[in-house]
Protein backbone atom coordinates (compact mmCIF):
# COMPACT_ATOMS: atom_id res chain seq x y z
CA UNK A 1 0.00 0.00 0.00
CA UNK A 2 1.68 3.17 -1.17
CA UNK A 3 -0.14 5.36 1.31
CA UNK A 4 2.00 3.96 4.07
CA UNK A 5 5.22 5.60 3.03
CA UNK A 6 3.55 8.98 3.23
CA UNK A 7 2.64 8.29 6.82
CA UNK A 8 6.21 7.67 7.96
CA UNK A 9 7.53 10.78 9.66
CA UNK A 10 11.15 11.76 9.15
CA UNK A 11 13.53 11.82 12.11
CA UNK A 12 13.51 15.60 12.04
CA UNK A 13 9.70 15.63 12.15
CA UNK A 14 9.77 13.44 15.22
CA UNK A 15 12.33 15.64 16.91
CA UNK A 16 10.30 18.74 16.11
CA UNK A 17 7.17 17.07 17.45
CA UNK A 18 8.97 15.86 20.55
CA UNK A 19 9.54 19.45 21.57
CA UNK A 20 5.88 19.69 22.42
CA UNK A 21 4.96 16.01 22.60
CA UNK A 22 7.88 14.22 24.28
CA UNK A 23 6.50 10.77 23.53
CA UNK A 24 7.37 11.29 19.89
CA UNK A 25 10.95 10.66 20.92
CA UNK A 26 10.13 7.06 21.72
CA UNK A 27 9.66 6.52 18.00
CA UNK A 28 13.29 7.52 17.47
CA UNK A 29 14.25 5.04 20.13
CA UNK A 30 12.37 2.31 18.32
CA UNK A 31 14.08 3.24 15.11
CA UNK A 32 17.66 3.44 16.26
CA UNK A 33 18.22 1.81 19.63
CA UNK A 34 19.01 -1.55 18.03
CA UNK A 35 21.49 -0.02 15.61
CA UNK A 36 23.21 1.91 18.39
CA UNK A 37 23.25 -1.13 20.64
CA UNK A 38 25.04 -3.20 18.02
CA UNK A 39 27.61 -0.49 17.51
CA UNK A 40 28.23 0.03 21.21
CA UNK A 41 28.44 -3.71 21.87
CA UNK A 42 31.24 -3.91 19.33
CA UNK A 43 33.21 -1.20 21.03
CA UNK A 44 32.72 -1.79 24.73
CA UNK A 45 31.03 -5.16 24.95
CA UNK A 46 27.44 -6.02 25.81
CA UNK A 47 27.76 -5.47 29.57
CA UNK A 48 27.41 -1.72 29.53
CA UNK A 49 25.98 -1.31 26.04
CA UNK A 50 22.41 -1.28 27.21
CA UNK A 51 23.01 1.46 29.69
CA UNK A 52 24.99 3.50 27.20
CA UNK A 53 22.23 3.33 24.65
CA UNK A 54 19.74 4.47 27.27
CA UNK A 55 22.02 7.34 28.19
CA UNK A 56 22.46 8.29 24.56
CA UNK A 57 18.74 8.78 24.18
CA UNK A 58 18.47 10.74 27.40
CA UNK A 59 21.23 13.07 26.25
CA UNK A 60 19.64 13.36 22.83
CA UNK A 61 16.25 14.04 24.34
CA UNK A 62 17.65 16.75 26.59
CA UNK A 63 19.33 18.34 23.58
CA UNK A 64 16.46 18.01 21.15
CA UNK A 65 15.71 21.72 21.14
CA UNK A 66 19.14 22.38 19.68
CA UNK A 67 18.79 19.89 16.86
CA UNK A 68 19.09 21.42 13.41
CA UNK A 69 15.85 20.33 11.78
CA UNK A 70 17.29 20.75 8.30
CA UNK A 71 18.96 17.36 8.85
CA UNK A 72 16.21 14.85 8.21
CA UNK A 73 18.36 11.91 9.29
CA UNK A 74 19.14 11.80 13.02
CA UNK A 75 21.70 9.00 12.84
CA UNK A 76 24.81 11.19 12.68
CA UNK A 77 23.56 13.13 15.68
CA UNK A 78 22.94 9.96 17.68
CA UNK A 79 26.28 8.44 16.66
CA UNK A 80 27.96 11.66 17.73
CA UNK A 81 26.39 11.44 21.16
CA UNK A 82 27.16 7.78 21.59
CA UNK A 83 30.76 8.39 20.55
CA UNK A 84 31.11 11.03 23.25
CA UNK A 85 29.63 8.72 25.82
CA UNK A 86 31.92 5.86 24.82
CA UNK A 87 34.91 8.13 25.38
CA UNK A 88 33.86 8.33 29.03
CA UNK A 89 34.31 4.60 29.14
CA UNK A 90 37.75 4.59 27.63
CA UNK A 91 39.03 2.18 30.20
CA UNK A 92 36.23 -0.26 29.55
CA UNK A 93 36.92 -0.02 25.86
CA UNK A 94 40.64 -0.57 26.40
CA UNK A 95 39.93 -3.59 28.58
CA UNK A 96 37.59 -4.90 25.89
CA UNK A 97 40.40 -4.80 23.33
CA UNK A 98 42.92 -6.22 25.78
CA UNK A 99 40.65 -9.17 26.37
CA UNK A 100 40.52 -9.68 22.63
CA UNK A 101 44.29 -9.74 22.41
CA UNK A 102 44.37 -12.54 24.94
CA UNK A 103 41.52 -14.50 23.45
CA UNK A 104 42.87 -17.83 22.32
CA UNK A 105 42.66 -19.05 18.78
CA UNK A 106 40.00 -21.71 18.72
CA UNK A 107 41.22 -25.20 18.14
CA UNK A 108 40.56 -25.94 14.50
CA UNK A 109 43.56 -28.13 13.90
CA UNK A 110 41.54 -31.20 13.10
CA UNK A 111 40.02 -29.58 10.05
CA UNK A 112 41.93 -28.59 6.96
CA UNK A 113 39.02 -27.41 4.95
CA UNK A 114 39.66 -24.13 3.08
CA UNK A 115 36.72 -22.27 4.52
CA UNK A 116 37.88 -23.01 8.01
CA UNK A 117 41.38 -21.97 7.10
CA UNK A 118 40.07 -18.58 6.00
CA UNK A 119 38.25 -18.31 9.28
CA UNK A 120 41.45 -19.05 11.09
CA UNK A 121 43.18 -16.23 9.27
CA UNK A 122 40.51 -13.80 10.33
CA UNK A 123 40.51 -15.09 13.87
CA UNK A 124 44.25 -15.02 14.02
CA UNK A 125 44.16 -11.37 13.06
CA UNK A 126 41.90 -10.52 15.94
CA UNK A 127 44.53 -10.02 18.62
CA UNK A 128 46.54 -7.89 16.22
CA UNK A 129 43.57 -5.76 15.25
CA UNK A 130 42.63 -5.39 18.88
CA UNK A 131 46.12 -4.30 19.73
CA UNK A 132 46.07 -1.83 16.87
CA UNK A 133 42.74 -0.37 17.99
CA UNK A 134 43.89 -0.09 21.57
CA UNK A 135 46.97 1.78 20.42
CA UNK A 136 45.12 4.43 18.42
CA UNK A 137 44.45 7.93 19.66
CA UNK A 138 40.80 8.17 20.69
CA UNK A 139 39.94 10.71 18.00
CA UNK A 140 41.45 8.54 15.29
CA UNK A 141 39.73 5.45 16.62
CA UNK A 142 36.38 7.24 16.69
CA UNK A 143 36.69 8.09 13.01
CA UNK A 144 37.98 4.69 11.99
CA UNK A 145 35.26 2.77 13.79
CA UNK A 146 32.43 5.03 12.64
CA UNK A 147 33.63 4.50 9.09
CA UNK A 148 34.10 0.75 9.49
CA UNK A 149 31.28 -0.17 11.84
CA UNK A 150 28.44 2.24 11.16
CA UNK A 151 26.75 2.90 7.86
CA UNK A 152 27.59 6.59 7.96
CA UNK A 153 29.21 8.28 4.99
CA UNK A 154 32.36 10.37 5.50
CA UNK A 155 30.19 13.45 5.46
CA UNK A 156 27.91 12.03 8.11
CA UNK A 157 30.88 11.00 10.24
CA UNK A 158 32.11 14.59 10.00
CA UNK A 159 28.68 15.76 11.07
CA UNK A 160 28.56 13.28 13.93
CA UNK A 161 31.92 14.37 15.31
CA UNK A 162 31.51 18.03 14.50
CA UNK A 163 34.69 18.22 12.45
CA UNK A 164 35.35 19.15 8.80
CA UNK A 165 35.25 16.31 6.31
CA UNK A 166 38.95 16.86 5.54
CA UNK A 167 39.70 16.08 9.17
CA UNK A 168 37.74 12.87 8.88
CA UNK A 169 39.84 11.82 5.91
CA UNK A 170 43.16 12.68 7.54
CA UNK A 171 42.27 10.92 10.80
CA UNK A 172 41.04 7.91 8.89
CA UNK A 173 44.26 7.73 6.89
CA UNK A 174 46.38 8.00 9.98
CA UNK A 175 44.36 5.33 11.79
CA UNK A 176 44.50 2.94 8.87
CA UNK A 177 48.22 3.43 8.48
CA UNK A 178 48.73 2.47 12.10
CA UNK A 179 46.47 -0.55 11.84
CA UNK A 180 48.31 -1.75 8.77
CA UNK A 181 51.66 -1.30 10.41
CA UNK A 182 50.56 -3.43 13.36
CA UNK A 183 49.17 -6.07 11.05
CA UNK A 184 52.39 -5.86 9.11
CA UNK A 185 52.63 -7.67 5.85
CA UNK A 186 53.29 -10.94 7.57
CA UNK A 187 50.85 -13.77 7.58
CA UNK A 188 49.14 -13.68 10.95
CA UNK A 189 49.15 -17.48 10.97
CA UNK A 190 52.90 -17.56 10.95
CA UNK A 191 53.15 -14.93 13.60
CA UNK A 192 51.26 -17.16 16.00
CA UNK A 193 53.91 -19.86 15.78
CA UNK B 1 43.65 -8.57 2.99
CA UNK B 2 42.18 -5.09 3.25
CA UNK B 3 42.48 -3.64 6.71
CA UNK B 4 39.02 -2.09 6.62
CA UNK B 5 37.50 -5.38 5.59
CA UNK B 6 39.32 -7.15 8.40
CA UNK B 7 38.04 -4.55 10.81
CA UNK B 8 34.51 -5.04 9.57
CA UNK B 9 34.84 -8.78 10.06
CA UNK B 10 36.13 -8.20 13.55
CA UNK B 11 33.24 -5.85 14.24
CA UNK B 12 30.71 -8.41 13.10
CA UNK B 13 32.22 -11.05 15.32
CA UNK B 14 32.09 -8.71 18.30
CA UNK B 15 28.54 -7.58 17.69
CA UNK B 16 25.74 -8.49 20.05
CA UNK B 17 22.06 -8.38 19.23
CA UNK B 18 20.02 -6.00 21.35
CA UNK B 19 18.53 -7.97 24.25
CA UNK B 20 14.81 -7.74 25.07
CA UNK B 21 15.77 -5.90 28.23
CA UNK B 22 16.71 -2.92 26.07
CA UNK B 23 13.08 -1.97 26.40
CA UNK B 24 13.92 -0.84 29.93
CA UNK B 25 15.98 1.95 28.46
CA UNK B 26 12.99 3.00 26.44
CA UNK B 27 11.00 3.17 29.62
CA UNK B 28 13.78 5.21 31.15
CA UNK B 29 13.52 7.62 28.27
CA UNK B 30 9.78 7.96 28.61
CA UNK B 31 10.01 8.44 32.34
CA UNK B 32 12.84 10.89 31.95
CA UNK B 33 10.78 12.69 29.37
CA UNK B 34 7.80 13.29 31.57
CA UNK B 35 8.88 15.25 34.63
CA UNK B 36 10.87 17.67 32.54
CA UNK B 37 7.77 19.29 31.24
CA UNK B 38 6.81 22.47 32.90
CA UNK B 39 3.36 22.69 31.45
CA UNK B 40 1.12 19.68 31.68
CA UNK B 41 0.74 18.50 28.17
CA UNK B 42 -1.65 16.29 26.46
CA UNK B 43 0.34 13.10 26.48
CA UNK B 44 1.16 13.50 30.11
CA UNK B 45 -2.53 13.54 30.74
CA UNK B 46 -2.80 10.37 28.75
CA UNK B 47 -0.13 8.75 30.82
CA UNK B 48 -1.88 9.56 34.05
CA UNK B 49 -5.27 8.57 32.89
CA UNK B 50 -4.14 5.12 31.99
CA UNK B 51 -4.07 3.20 28.86
CA UNK B 52 -7.56 1.84 28.88
CA UNK B 53 -9.02 5.27 28.90
CA UNK B 54 -6.65 6.48 26.27
CA UNK B 55 -7.39 3.64 23.97
CA UNK B 56 -11.07 3.87 24.54
CA UNK B 57 -11.16 7.54 24.00
CA UNK B 58 -8.97 7.34 20.96
CA UNK B 59 -10.90 4.58 19.41
CA UNK B 60 -14.21 6.27 19.34
CA UNK B 61 -12.61 8.82 17.13
CA UNK B 62 -13.54 11.29 19.76
CA UNK B 63 -10.41 12.61 21.30
CA UNK B 64 -8.56 11.50 18.25
CA UNK B 65 -8.86 14.97 16.98
CA UNK B 66 -6.33 15.95 19.34
CA UNK B 67 -2.74 16.89 19.47
CA UNK B 68 -2.94 19.83 17.17
CA UNK B 69 -6.56 20.23 16.32
CA UNK B 70 -7.14 22.23 13.25
CA UNK B 71 -9.18 24.89 14.82
CA UNK B 72 -11.65 26.95 12.97
CA UNK B 73 -11.32 30.62 13.62
CA UNK B 74 -14.95 31.38 14.23
CA UNK B 75 -16.66 28.96 16.55
CA UNK B 76 -20.41 28.84 16.29
CA UNK B 77 -20.81 30.02 19.83
CA UNK B 78 -18.47 30.94 22.60
CA UNK B 79 -16.57 27.72 23.44
CA UNK B 80 -16.29 28.77 27.07
CA UNK B 81 -20.03 28.60 27.36
CA UNK B 82 -20.08 24.98 26.30
CA UNK B 83 -19.76 22.02 28.57
CA UNK B 84 -16.91 19.55 28.31
CA UNK B 85 -16.14 16.13 29.76
CA UNK B 86 -17.74 14.62 32.81
CA UNK B 87 -20.84 16.44 31.72
CA UNK B 88 -22.99 15.33 28.89
CA UNK B 89 -21.14 15.59 25.62
CA UNK B 90 -22.50 15.55 22.11
CA UNK B 91 -20.27 15.39 19.09
CA UNK B 92 -21.23 15.64 15.48
CA UNK B 93 -18.85 13.56 13.37
CA UNK B 94 -18.74 14.37 9.67
CA UNK B 95 -16.93 12.18 7.20
CA UNK B 96 -15.70 14.69 4.67
CA UNK B 97 -14.52 14.20 1.14
CA UNK B 98 -12.39 16.99 -0.16
CA UNK B 99 -12.64 17.25 -3.88
CA UNK B 100 -10.24 20.16 -4.14
CA UNK B 101 -7.33 21.19 -1.94
CA UNK B 102 -8.27 22.35 1.52
CA UNK B 103 -6.77 25.77 0.97
CA UNK B 104 -9.19 26.47 -1.83
CA UNK B 105 -12.23 25.41 0.12
CA UNK B 106 -14.07 28.45 1.22
CA UNK B 107 -12.82 30.10 -1.92
CA UNK B 108 -14.82 30.52 -5.08
CA UNK B 109 -15.88 26.91 -5.28
CA UNK B 110 -17.95 26.17 -2.26
CA UNK B 111 -18.68 22.70 -3.57
CA UNK B 112 -15.17 21.69 -2.66
CA UNK B 113 -16.12 19.55 0.27
CA UNK B 114 -18.89 17.08 0.78
CA UNK B 115 -19.96 15.35 3.91
CA UNK B 116 -20.89 11.79 3.10
CA UNK B 117 -21.18 10.52 6.59
CA UNK B 118 -22.88 12.10 9.53
CA UNK B 119 -22.91 10.69 13.02
CA UNK B 120 -24.12 12.15 16.25
CA UNK B 121 -22.14 10.78 19.19
CA UNK B 122 -23.93 11.14 22.46
CA UNK B 123 -22.09 10.63 25.75
CA UNK B 124 -24.31 10.97 28.78
CA UNK B 125 -22.81 12.43 31.91
CA UNK B 126 -22.39 8.99 33.50
CA UNK B 127 -20.72 7.65 30.32
CA UNK B 128 -22.41 4.32 30.79
CA UNK B 129 -23.59 4.04 27.23
CA UNK B 130 -22.26 5.86 24.21
CA UNK B 131 -24.83 6.21 21.49
CA UNK B 132 -23.77 6.79 17.92
CA UNK B 133 -26.61 7.90 15.67
CA UNK B 134 -25.99 7.86 11.95
CA UNK B 135 -27.98 10.24 9.82
CA UNK B 136 -28.27 9.02 6.22
CA UNK B 137 -27.06 11.67 3.84
CA UNK B 138 -30.21 11.40 1.75
CA UNK B 139 -32.39 12.55 4.62
CA UNK B 140 -34.54 15.54 3.78
CA UNK B 141 -34.55 18.03 6.63
CA UNK B 142 -35.27 21.65 7.36
CA UNK B 143 -31.97 23.46 6.99
CA UNK B 144 -31.96 26.60 9.13
CA UNK B 145 -30.63 29.94 7.98
CA UNK B 146 -26.88 29.71 7.52
CA UNK B 147 -24.08 31.69 5.97
CA UNK B 148 -21.97 30.38 3.14
CA UNK B 149 -18.21 30.73 2.82
CA UNK B 150 -18.57 34.30 1.55
CA UNK B 151 -20.77 35.32 4.42
CA UNK B 152 -23.82 35.41 2.19
CA UNK B 153 -26.97 34.34 3.97
CA UNK B 154 -28.75 31.14 2.97
CA UNK B 155 -32.40 31.20 3.98
CA UNK B 156 -34.15 28.38 5.73
CA UNK B 157 -35.12 25.66 3.30
CA UNK B 158 -35.91 22.00 2.99
CA UNK B 159 -32.92 20.09 1.71
CA UNK B 160 -30.65 17.09 1.95
CA UNK B 161 -29.01 16.93 5.32
CA UNK B 162 -25.55 16.71 3.83
CA UNK B 163 -26.11 19.82 1.73
CA UNK B 164 -25.92 21.85 4.93
CA UNK B 165 -22.22 21.13 5.14
CA UNK B 166 -21.61 21.70 1.45
CA UNK B 167 -23.38 25.03 1.55
CA UNK B 168 -22.59 26.39 4.96
CA UNK B 169 -19.73 24.31 6.33
CA UNK B 170 -19.41 22.68 9.72
CA UNK B 171 -21.35 25.37 11.54
CA UNK B 172 -24.34 24.96 9.25
CA UNK B 173 -24.24 21.18 9.61
CA UNK B 174 -24.19 21.68 13.34
CA UNK B 175 -27.12 24.08 13.29
CA UNK B 176 -29.08 21.73 11.07
CA UNK B 177 -28.59 18.72 13.31
CA UNK B 178 -29.23 20.79 16.41
CA UNK B 179 -32.53 22.06 15.06
CA UNK B 180 -33.49 18.61 13.81
CA UNK B 181 -32.78 16.79 17.05
CA UNK B 182 -32.93 19.45 19.71
CA UNK B 183 -29.65 18.01 20.96
CA UNK B 184 -27.06 20.65 21.62
CA UNK B 185 -23.80 19.78 19.89
CA UNK B 186 -20.62 20.59 21.70
CA UNK B 187 -18.12 19.93 18.98
CA UNK B 188 -18.12 19.15 15.32
CA UNK B 189 -15.48 16.70 14.11
CA UNK B 190 -14.66 16.76 10.45
CA UNK B 191 -12.86 13.57 9.54
CA UNK B 192 -11.13 13.64 6.21
CA UNK B 193 -11.75 10.41 4.37
CA UNK B 194 -8.36 10.73 2.77
CA UNK B 195 -6.77 10.96 6.21
CA UNK B 196 -8.70 7.98 7.46
CA UNK B 197 -6.41 5.66 5.59
CA UNK B 198 -3.42 7.00 7.48
CA UNK B 199 -5.23 6.50 10.75
CA UNK B 200 -5.99 2.92 9.77
CA UNK B 201 -2.38 2.42 8.72
CA UNK B 202 -1.17 3.75 12.04
CA UNK B 203 -3.24 1.03 13.62
CA UNK B 204 -1.67 -1.55 11.37
CA UNK B 205 -4.90 -2.17 9.51
CA UNK B 206 -8.42 -3.00 10.54
CA UNK B 207 -10.13 -6.33 10.16
CA UNK B 208 -13.29 -6.59 8.12
CA UNK B 209 -15.48 -9.49 7.13
CA UNK B 210 -16.99 -9.71 3.69
CA UNK B 211 -20.02 -11.96 3.33
CA UNK B 212 -19.24 -12.36 -0.34
CA UNK B 213 -16.55 -11.43 -2.83
CA UNK B 214 -16.47 -7.79 -3.83
CA UNK B 215 -15.30 -6.36 -7.09
CA UNK B 216 -15.93 -2.69 -7.57
CA UNK B 217 -13.81 -0.95 -10.15
CA UNK B 218 -15.09 2.50 -9.21
CA UNK B 219 -14.11 2.12 -5.61
CA UNK B 220 -10.96 0.14 -6.40
CA UNK B 221 -12.09 -2.86 -4.41
CA UNK B 222 -11.36 -6.43 -5.38
CA UNK B 223 -11.54 -8.86 -2.50
CA UNK B 224 -12.75 -12.40 -1.98
CA UNK B 225 -15.29 -13.23 0.70
CA UNK B 226 -14.10 -13.70 4.24
CA UNK B 227 -11.96 -11.88 6.72
CA UNK B 228 -9.50 -9.27 5.60
CA UNK B 229 -7.06 -6.98 7.22
CA UNK B 230 -7.54 -3.79 5.25
CA UNK B 231 -5.22 -0.84 5.14
CA UNK B 232 -4.78 2.39 3.28
CA UNK B 233 -6.75 2.90 0.14
CA UNK B 234 -8.48 -0.43 0.51
CA UNK B 235 -9.88 0.60 3.86
CA UNK B 236 -10.95 3.89 2.44
CA UNK B 237 -12.64 2.23 -0.50
CA UNK B 238 -14.43 -0.16 1.81
CA UNK B 239 -15.79 2.61 3.97
CA UNK B 240 -16.73 4.79 1.06
CA UNK B 241 -17.95 2.31 -1.54
CA UNK B 242 -21.60 2.14 -2.24
CA UNK B 243 -21.81 -0.34 -5.06
CA UNK B 244 -21.53 -4.09 -4.89
CA UNK B 245 -21.60 -4.09 -1.14
CA UNK B 246 -24.77 -4.76 0.75
CA UNK B 247 -27.79 -3.49 -1.13
CA UNK B 248 -25.85 -0.58 -2.58
CA UNK B 249 -27.73 2.01 -0.58
CA UNK B 250 -26.41 4.65 1.73
CA UNK B 251 -28.07 2.78 4.55
CA UNK B 252 -26.09 -0.38 4.03
CA UNK B 253 -23.02 1.76 3.80
CA UNK B 254 -23.81 3.29 7.17
CA UNK B 255 -24.01 -0.17 8.64
CA UNK B 256 -20.66 -0.98 7.13
CA UNK B 257 -19.12 2.19 8.51
CA UNK B 258 -20.44 1.45 11.95
CA UNK B 259 -19.01 -2.05 11.82
CA UNK B 260 -15.75 -0.60 10.65
CA UNK B 261 -15.65 1.78 13.60
CA UNK B 262 -16.33 -1.07 15.98
CA UNK B 263 -13.53 -3.06 14.41
CA UNK B 264 -11.25 -0.06 14.58
CA UNK B 265 -12.04 0.30 18.24
CA UNK B 266 -11.10 -3.30 18.92
CA UNK B 267 -7.91 -2.98 16.95
CA UNK B 268 -7.00 0.22 18.72
CA UNK B 269 -7.52 -1.43 22.04
CA UNK B 270 -5.11 -4.22 21.24
CA UNK B 271 -2.56 -2.16 19.33
CA UNK B 272 -2.24 1.08 21.17
CA UNK B 273 -0.71 -0.31 24.31
CA UNK B 274 2.48 1.45 23.45
CA UNK B 275 2.99 5.20 23.78
CA UNK B 276 4.90 5.44 20.53
CA UNK B 277 2.19 3.70 18.56
CA UNK B 278 -0.35 5.76 20.35
CA UNK B 279 1.56 8.79 19.33
CA UNK B 280 1.70 7.78 15.67
CA UNK B 281 -2.00 7.12 15.80
CA UNK B 282 -2.77 10.47 17.34
CA UNK B 283 -0.48 12.19 14.92
CA UNK B 284 -2.32 10.83 11.92
CA UNK B 285 -5.66 11.38 13.54
CA UNK B 286 -4.93 14.99 14.32
CA UNK B 287 -4.02 15.57 10.71
CA UNK B 288 -7.24 14.07 9.49
CA UNK B 289 -9.62 15.53 11.99
CA UNK B 290 -10.68 19.09 12.53
CA UNK B 291 -12.71 20.09 15.57
CA UNK B 292 -15.02 23.07 15.82
CA UNK B 293 -14.81 24.63 18.32
CA UNK B 294 -11.33 23.28 18.82
CA UNK B 295 -10.91 20.91 21.72
CA UNK B 296 -8.12 21.88 24.03
CA UNK B 297 -5.62 19.66 25.71
CA UNK B 298 -7.35 19.67 29.02
CA UNK B 299 -10.73 19.04 27.54
CA UNK B 300 -9.45 16.02 25.69
CA UNK B 301 -7.67 14.66 28.71
CA UNK B 302 -10.89 15.18 30.61
CA UNK B 303 -12.92 13.34 28.01
CA UNK B 304 -10.44 10.51 27.98
CA UNK B 305 -10.60 10.25 31.72
CA UNK B 306 -14.35 10.23 31.70
CA UNK B 307 -14.29 7.32 29.26
CA UNK B 308 -12.00 5.15 31.34
CA UNK B 309 -14.59 2.47 31.95
CA UNK B 310 -16.08 2.33 28.48
CA UNK B 311 -15.84 -0.94 26.56
CA UNK B 312 -16.72 -1.84 23.01
CA UNK B 313 -20.03 -3.28 24.16
CA UNK B 314 -21.00 0.04 25.68
CA UNK B 315 -21.40 1.53 22.26
CA UNK B 316 -24.79 1.62 20.71
CA UNK B 317 -24.78 2.20 16.98
CA UNK B 318 -28.13 3.20 15.56
CA UNK B 319 -29.48 4.82 12.45
CA UNK B 320 -31.99 7.58 12.77
CA UNK B 321 -35.55 6.22 12.25
CA UNK B 322 -36.57 6.99 8.70
CA UNK B 323 -39.14 6.38 6.01
CA UNK B 324 -39.25 7.11 2.31
CA UNK B 325 -39.78 10.73 1.41
CA UNK B 326 -43.07 10.80 -0.47
CA UNK B 327 -42.30 13.42 -3.15
CA UNK B 328 -39.09 11.59 -4.07
CA UNK B 329 -38.73 7.90 -3.26
CA UNK B 330 -34.94 8.15 -3.61
CA UNK B 331 -34.86 10.34 -0.55
CA UNK B 332 -35.88 9.67 2.99
CA UNK B 333 -37.20 11.65 5.90
CA UNK B 334 -37.40 11.21 9.64
CA UNK B 335 -39.98 8.75 10.80
CA UNK B 336 -42.04 10.21 13.59
CA UNK B 337 -42.62 9.81 16.41
CA UNK B 338 -39.76 7.28 16.58
CA UNK B 339 -37.11 9.83 15.62
CA UNK B 340 -38.18 12.35 18.21
CA UNK B 341 -38.33 9.60 20.79
CA UNK B 342 -34.73 8.75 20.03
CA UNK B 343 -33.66 12.39 20.22
CA UNK B 344 -35.47 12.82 23.51
CA UNK B 345 -33.68 9.79 24.89
CA UNK B 346 -30.46 11.54 24.03
CA UNK B 347 -31.49 14.51 26.08
CA UNK B 348 -32.72 16.51 23.13
CA UNK B 349 -35.84 18.59 22.96
CA UNK B 350 -37.01 18.15 19.38
CA UNK B 351 -38.84 21.11 17.90
CA UNK B 352 -42.61 21.02 17.77
CA UNK B 353 -43.46 19.66 14.40
CA UNK B 354 -46.63 20.84 12.81
CA UNK B 355 -48.74 19.08 10.21
CA UNK B 356 -46.60 17.18 7.75
CA UNK B 357 -43.36 16.21 9.37
CA UNK B 358 -40.08 17.67 8.27
CA UNK B 359 -41.62 19.66 5.50
Ordered by start, the domain boundaries in chain B are 39-323
First-to-final CA distance of chain A: 60
For residues B58 and B276, the model is more confident at B276
With a cut of 60, say whether residue B93 has pLDDT above it: yes
Which of A28-32, A39-43, B237-241 comes out lowest in average pLDDT? B237-241
Which of A78-87, B199-208, B263-272, B313-322 comes out lowest in average pLDDT? B263-272
Q: How far apart are CA A154 and CA A21, in angstroms?
A: 33
Exposed (0-12), middle (13-18) or buried (19+): which is B244, by Cβ within 10 Å?
middle
Of all residues in chain A, the one with the smallest CA distance to B66 is: A21
Across the interface, whether the CB atoms of A149 and B11 are under 8 A apart is answered: yes
Average pLDDT value for chain B: 70
Of all residues in chain B, the one with the smallest CA distance to A129 is: B7
Q: Is A73 on the interface with B (CB under 8 A)?
A: no
Give mean pLDDT, residues B128-151: 85
Which of A134-143, B165-174, B207-216 comes out lowest in average pLDDT? B207-216
- How far away is chain A from the Cα of B84, in angstroms, using its nearest Cα? 23
Q: How far apart are CA A94 and CA B159, in angstroms?
A: 80
Which of B125-139, B212-226, B234-248, B314-328 comes out lowest in average pLDDT? B234-248
Give mean pLDDT, residues A12-18: 90
pLDDT of the residue at B282: 66
**Rounded-to-10 torsion of CA B355, B323, B339, B208:** -160
DSSP summary character for residue B139:
B
Q: From the list A7, A50, A183, which residue is nearest B19 (CB)?
A: A50
Closest CA to B120 of B88, B167, B75, B156: B88
Provide CATH code, domain B39-323.
3.40.630.190
pLDDT of the residue at A22: 80
Q: How far apart are CA B284 and CA B325, in angstroms?
A: 39
pLDDT of the residue at B178: 93
Across the interface, whether the CB atoms of B6 and A46 are under 8 A apart is answered: no
For residues A120 and B352, the model is more confident at B352
Confidence of residue B84 (pLDDT cuts 50, 70, 90): very low
Q: How far apart are CA A147 and CA B167, in angstroms?
A: 61
Confidence of residue A104 (pLDDT cuts 50, 70, 90): low
Winning range, highest mean pLDDT, from A94-98, A104-108, B298-302: A94-98
Q: Is A164 on the interface with B (CB under 8 A)?
A: no
The number of C-beta contacts closer than 8 angstroms across A and B is: 147
With a cut of 70, say whether residue B23 has pLDDT above it: yes
With a cut of 70, say whether residue B254 has pLDDT above it: yes
With a cut of 60, say whether residue B316 has pLDDT above it: yes
For residues B41 and B227, the model is more confident at B227
DSSP summary character for residue A68:
-
With a cut of 50, say whether residue B209 has pLDDT above it: yes
Answer whether B141's CB lies under 8 Å from B180's CB: yes
Answer whether A129's CB lies under 8 Å from B7's CB: yes
Confidence of residue B21 (pLDDT cuts 50, 70, 90): confident
Query: 3-state DSSP: chain A helix, strand, coil percent, rounded to 5?
Result: 75, 0, 25
- Contact residues on chain B for A145, CB-CB shorter than 8 A: 7, 11
Rounded to 5 degrees, what are φ and ψ at B50? 100, 150
Which of A114-123, B124-133, B220-229 comes out lowest in average pLDDT? A114-123
Across the interface, whether the CB atoms of A33 and B25 are under 8 A apart is answered: yes
| ipTM associated with this complex | 0.82
Closest CA to A127 of A107, A102, A148, A95: A102
With a cut of 50, say whether residue B171 has pLDDT above it: yes
With a cut of 80, say whether residue B161 has pLDDT above it: yes
Q: In terms of residues, how long is chain B? A: 359
pLDDT of the residue at B276: 64
- Contact residues on chain A for B24, CB-CB shorter than 8 A: 50, 54
Q: From the list B7, B10, B29, which residue is nearest A29 (CB)?
A: B29
Give mean pLDDT, residues B111-126: 76
Q: Which residues, including other chains, have CB under 8 Å from residue B191's CB and lie 6 or more apart?
A: B61, B93, B94, B95, B96, B117, B288, B289
- Residue B293 CA from chain centroid, whole number: 15
Amino acid sequence: MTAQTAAVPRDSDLIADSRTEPEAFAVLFDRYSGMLYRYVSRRVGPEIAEDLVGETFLVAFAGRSGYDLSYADARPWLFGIVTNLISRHRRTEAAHYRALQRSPIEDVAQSDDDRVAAGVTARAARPLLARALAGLAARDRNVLLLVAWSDLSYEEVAQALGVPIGTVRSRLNRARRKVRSVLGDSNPMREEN
Amino acid sequence: MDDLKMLRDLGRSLEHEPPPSLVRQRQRLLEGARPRRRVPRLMRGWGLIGLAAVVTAAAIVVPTMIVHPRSEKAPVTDPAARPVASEELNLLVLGVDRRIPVSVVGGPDKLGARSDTMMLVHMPADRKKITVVSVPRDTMVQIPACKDAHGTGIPTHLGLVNSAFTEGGASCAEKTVESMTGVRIDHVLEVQFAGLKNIVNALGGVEITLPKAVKDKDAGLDMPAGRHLVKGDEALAYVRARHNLGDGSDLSRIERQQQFLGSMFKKAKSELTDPARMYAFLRESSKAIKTTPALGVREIAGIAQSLAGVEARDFDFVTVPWRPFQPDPNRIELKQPAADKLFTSLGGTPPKRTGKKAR
